[in-house]
Amino acid sequence: MSYRVTFVCTGNICRSPMAEWVFRHHVEEEGLDVEVDSSGTGPWHAGDDADPRTVRALRRAGYRSAHIARQFEPEWFEQYDLILALDQGHLRDLRAMAPDDAARGRIRLLREFDPDAGDDLDVPDPYYGGHDDFEHVLKLVEAAMPRLLDHVRAETSLAREA
């Protein structure tokens, strides 16, 4: 069974689809058996495409993008090995909806995997900003990828040994 990772932001049109497609790119490049998707904590954009500025930033950096927004559902906790919140608010929302400690233990902040993040573990919401804000978010997402990949490789190795 594949290792499953999901990224969660507010409306699932900016940050989480960006993180999804950057991580998906790296997973595919390495041939890892990892399923990747994303969702939002709220229903505001369910059924919408990714924000065009997200798509533009991804494509300019050489990533693919295809996305339909959806809201994270509490019954999904059992489906994921790792649930990555994009900021502290998402982390709180996810922990509040988690059915038990095991589910809460699978929720982390994406920037926990960025060695240069320091105490600033939030990926800022670029929605009300311009192109530069989306480019900044992309850089923050990319900075977390090497350690996130290390973490997932270690987790999948442990699962194979068990």
Distance of alpha carbon 18 from alpha carbon 41, whole angstroms: 16
Contact 34, 66 (CB under 8 A): no
Contact 59, 82 (CB under 8 A): no
Contact 11, 45 (CB under 8 A): yes
Distance of alpha carbon 127 from alpha carbon 134, whole angstroms: 8
* Residue 12 region by backbone torsions, left for phi larger than 0, else alpha for psi between -120 and 50, else beta: left
Contact residues for 29 (Cβ-Cβ < 8 A; gap 6+): none
Q: Which residues are catalytic?
A: 9, 15, 125
DSSP state at residue 34: E
Backbone angles phi, psi at 40, to 5 degrees: -120, 160
